[in-house]
Chains A and B, each alone.
Chain A
Amino acid sequence: MLKPISIAILFGSLLAVPPLPANASGGSKQPKAASKSAVPPTRSPAEQAVDHYNFGLKSRNKAVRFEEKARQADKASRRAGYLKKAQVQYGKAIREFQLAVRLNPKFHQAFSSLGYAQRKSGDPGAAVIAYDRALALSPNYTEAIEYRAEAFLGLDRLGEARKAYIRLFSTDRGRADELLRAMRKWIETRRGSPENLSKEEIDSFSGWVKDREEIASQTASLDGMKKRKW
């Protein structure tokens, strides 16, 4: 999960940020924060972008906690209640991340987080666009590669999800493993509700996932080499 980002980390990439257009956040000179945590008006656009990003992360983390509670809830009504609360938080997070990227169009982490919240809100198409922006700014940002692939799964764009996995496999095994888990989950879901996909398509993808799981488990030691004591 993402951690709040430090202004210092982003400092280098924020120097050339153009000033925010007057109507960028509803006509006021300063962007209007969607959350109760108002951004101090004296801060630079770059600093405000980071503030909005961090507010967005807070909402997103709240949403994730509600989702966890929903998973653990024993009654369907309680589960539904938690999921609804989670969606409210994702909505808030989207607004904050949108403000962050308007204030700093080079903020690739914010684009990626925007994609995450949009995907969790059930809009994988919008999420892919946000991830595309993140990856245009930072092509090797593995978080965006992985989550965009999850959005591809949501859109049944399996070939692109596979490509993303192969790319992650050699650059970030942890992310690759996470994507493989998402693929497994997608298969379970689609077996119950295939929508426009044929059984053969799902079986073919399932076979591919099984093969990659085997390769991943066989070659797990390649990654462990870094830590092993000889």
Chain B
Amino acid sequence: MTAAKVSLGRFLFYDRKLSGNGTYSCATCHRQELAFTDGRAQSIGSTGEIHPRGAMSLANAAYNITLTWSDPALIRLEDQVEIPLFHREPVEMGMSGRVDTLLDRLKSDRRYRRWFAAAFPGQSDPIRLGNLYRAIASFERILISGGSPYDRLVYGGEMEALADSARNGMGLFFSNRLRCSRCHGGITFSGPTAFAGNRPPRQAFHNTGLYNLGPRGNYPEDDQGLYRFTGRQGDMGRFRAPTLRNIGLTSPYMHDGSIATLEEVIDHYSAGGRTIPTGRYAGDGRASPNKSELVSGFYISRQEKADLVAFLKSLTDTGFISEERFSDPFETPVPSVPP
């Protein structure tokens, strides 16, 4: 990580040159004002293809021990950058088979020639894919969200940072009755984290009883979570717990955006799974054989639900979504350039 890499990565992240038809940048699906999500149930690629999942938030991505919703092998941000650029099923940025085009676009831009050379000094030909990945990953690593009212209370000692309702909700969130923090724990509210000096903990993926199709508790064929990578039936429908930081900004919810509001998400967990009475996905998620034992249901009153939602909304970091260092440099009146 250097300032020059981060700054270059910021320009690349927001540059539409990185998509095949010049219409998409990384920021198209990772919008700062939505905590680097896209606000859609299922993302849409640069050529209009609909994805099975929504765009995950990039907040604190540097600390995630796995990236994306369910790929256990994707653990480095540098490796993840490759996926949206070159993925074909579905198409995201649409650069598959067009590496030379991508590099030519960058090389023909005088600014990138200068910025790549500054970020990767001593290299005779610094504009190359590996360096592009490194620069974008460097930028993503500075996307740290830790200034929410919750953080101001817990880590900043501002005892009035949370309203009473949110404080009650916080108690519920961490309680043994609701056990939300069992999966959405750690500083990221996303489960196990990796950081310097810490031996990486085990990866965690969960089946929350969202679907239960057929006798084996399947998920819809287009997205079966960890199962796609391992082929083990027990991994059917298992996904990583996404971060709850800024969750008030990142609706709709669940990996496929199939739940619209936080209240409905709480209802889902309170019931111990989702029952879909009719249609192609009809099934009782509560009875799924693959469901996590942590999703066993709980009683929650109306007031408690409101308190819990208030707490979840207290995880919104307004500084994060307005921080200039994370914003589109092409829209800044005087773009900051790498040294």
Contacts and interface: CB of A to CB of B under 8 A. Distances in A.
Contact of B171 (A169, A218, A221, A225): A218
A222 B171 contact: no
A219 B186 CA distance: 9
B208 interface: no
Contact of B202 (A215, A220, A222, A230): A230
Interface in B153-201: 153-157, 159, 170-171, 173-175, 181-182, 185-187, 191-193, 198, 201
Contacts of A215: 153-154, 170
A178 B191 CA distance: 26
Contacts of A228: 192, 201
A109 B323 CA distance: 40
Contact of B191 (A163, A219, A220, A225): A225
Given A221-B181, A221-B182, A221-B185, A226 B201 contact: yes
Contacts, number: 51
Contacts of B170: 215, 218
Interface in A155-192: 162-163, 165-166, 169-170
Nearest to B185: A225
A61 to B, nearest CB: 29
Contacts of B75: none
Mostly, the B contact residues are loop
Interface string A201-230: 000000010010011001111101110111
A219 B155 CA distance: 11
B290 to A, nearest CB: 15
Contacts of B203: 230
Contacts of A218: 170-171, 173-175
B159 A219 contact: no
Interface residues of A, number: 21
Interface residues of B, number: 24
B155 A169 contact: yes
A44 B73 CA distance: 53
A169 B157 CA distance: 9
Given A221-B174, A229-B202, A230-B192, A163 B182 contact: no
B122 to A, nearest CB: 31
B156 A214 contact: no
B171 A214 contact: yes
B201 A225 contact: yes
A85 B201 CA distance: 47
Interface string B43-65: 00000000000000000000000
Interface string A104-133: 000000000000000000000000000000
A162 to B, nearest CB: 7
A225 B186 contact: yes
A226 B198 contact: yes
Contacts of B187: 222
Interface in B190-230: 191-193, 198, 201-204
Given A221-B181, A221-B182, A225-B191, A211 B159 contact: yes
A166 B171 contact: no
Nearest to A211: B159
A211 B198 CA distance: 29
A166 B191 contact: no
Contact of A163 (B157, B175, B181): B157
26 contacts: A162-B157, A163-B157, A165-B157, A166-B156, A166-B157, A169-B154, A169-B155, A170-B155, A208-B159, A211-B159, A215-B154, A218-B170, A218-B173, A218-B174, A219-B154, A220-B174, A221-B181, A222-B181, A222-B185, A225-B193, A226-B201, A228-B192, A228-B201, A230-B191, A230-B192, A230-B204
**Closest 3 pairs between A and B when the two form their complex, measured CB to CB:** A166-B157, A218-B174, A230-B204
Given A225-B192, A225-B201, 6 more contacts: A170-B155, A211-B159, A215-B170, A219-B181, A225-B191, A230-B192
